Amino acid sequence: MGVGRAGQRAEDLINELGITAPNEIDIEAIAFDRGVHVSYEVLHGCEATLVGYGDKAIATINPSSSRGRERFSIGHEIGHWQMHRGKSFKCRSDDIVLNYSSNNDYEKEADEFAAHLLMPTRIFQSAIRASGQPGLNDLKKIADDFEVSLQAISIRLAQLDSLPVIVACYSKRGREWYSRANHIPWRWTPKTTLDRDSFAYDVLHNGQTHTRPRKQPADAWFEQDDADQYELLEQAIPSANGQVLVMLYLSDSEMCEEAYTQSSRSRY
């Protein structure tokens, strides 16, 4: 997938600052460099605010026990400042899920900016390559290196589009969100409620977890009639608020290729 406009702005900034390693992404120093003063203050009804005056701005961040969340909020506000100058913002920027699914372009752009600022493609790509086909445990370690949340890094991995990966989050209500590598055909959309045969179901209902992705028939995850012809790799772990985070690798490459035949056929 190509990098969007907001992502490119963040990547350009990273290059301009000569940053080449995760531990060099000092988010407060980057904010300072852009004229944004960061302060921490308990906020009600939002996670971060941005107020600009002239060529300076103040980003106020709701303190969190997760440094990853704070960093994402700061990156998000820098994004607003770089791209939407002249406006003030009250953001729920910790909750990237709400923003990804929101219709608010400003919020989406600020999130895309933050994701690329905290996980620049070149640096992130080499960390991912070093772990081959990372499981969620590997991703946790990479998330620690980049000081981002597991959720943020999972979504970034899917959007990087270098591996046939789908990440998703389920609660007892059903699917909360998912993110899919762009080259995976649209028809492979994870079910809206967890199948009893999925490992994620066991995690959500019985607290069972596995340390590695394991083989699973694809019809545990997809409604398509032909899903039972394929196998995939599934890993699921407990996430915040009683939810479960799922990672699926479409390891059978035919699942990604076959769609071309299908879509060209459907034109006739």
Backbone angles phi, psi at 250, to 5 degrees: -85, 75
Least distance to Zn ion, CB of residue 110, Å: 4
Least distance to Zn ion, CB of residue 76, Å: 5
Residue 110 engages Zn ion in binding (rule: CB under 5 A): yes
Residue with tokens 């994004």: 79
Residue 181 engages Zn ion in binding (rule: CB under 5 A): no
**Residue with the CB atom nearest Zn ion in the bound state:** 91
Question: Distance between CA atoms of 93 and 8, rounded to whole angstroms?
Answer: 19
Q: Yes or no: say if 156 and 171 are a contact pair by the CB < 8 Å rule.
A: no
C-beta neighbour count of 248 within 10 angstroms: 29
Question: Distance between CA atoms of 100 and 93, rounded to whole angstroms?
Answer: 10
Residue 249 engages Zn ion in binding (rule: CB under 5 A): no
Question: Distance between CA atoms of 122 and 20, rounded to whole angstroms?
Answer: 8
Residue 91 engages Zn ion in binding (rule: CB under 5 A): yes
As a whole number of Å, the end-to-end CA separation of the chain is 28
Residue 72 DSSP symbol: H
Question: Distance between CA atoms of 262 and 55, rounded to whole angstroms?
Answer: 53
Q: Please, which residue, 46 or 259, has the CB nearer to Zn ion?
A: 46
Least distance to Zn ion, CB of residue 60, Å: 12
Residue 119 engages Zn ion in binding (rule: CB under 5 A): no
* From 25-33, 105-113, 202-210, 252-260, span contacting Zn ion (CB under 5 A): 105-113
Q: How many residues bind Zn ion (CB under 5 A)?
A: 5
Question: Distance between CA atoms of 215 and 74, rounded to whole angstroms?
Answer: 39
Q: Please, which residue, 78 or 246, has the CB nearer to Zn ion?
A: 78
Q: Please, which residue, 74 or 250, has the CB nearer to Zn ion?
A: 74
Question: Distance between CA atoms of 138 and 120, rounded to whole angstroms?
Answer: 18
104 vs 17, 91, 236, 262, CA distance in Å?
A: 29, 11, 30, 33
Least distance to Zn ion, CB of residue 151, Å: 17
* From 8-16, 103-111, 145-153, 187-195, span contacting Zn ion (CB under 5 A): 103-111
Least distance to Zn ion, CB of residue 1, Å: 22
Q: Please, which residue, 90 or 175, has the CB nearer to Zn ion?
A: 90
Q: Please, which residue, 91 or 163, has the CB nearer to Zn ion?
A: 91
Least distance to Zn ion, CB of residue 231, Å: 41
Interface with Zn ion (CB under 5 A), residue from 72, 81, 89, 201? 89
Question: Distance between CA atoms of 173 and 66, rounded to whole angstroms?
Answer: 25
Which residues contact Zn ion by CB under 5 A? 89, 91, 93, 107, 110
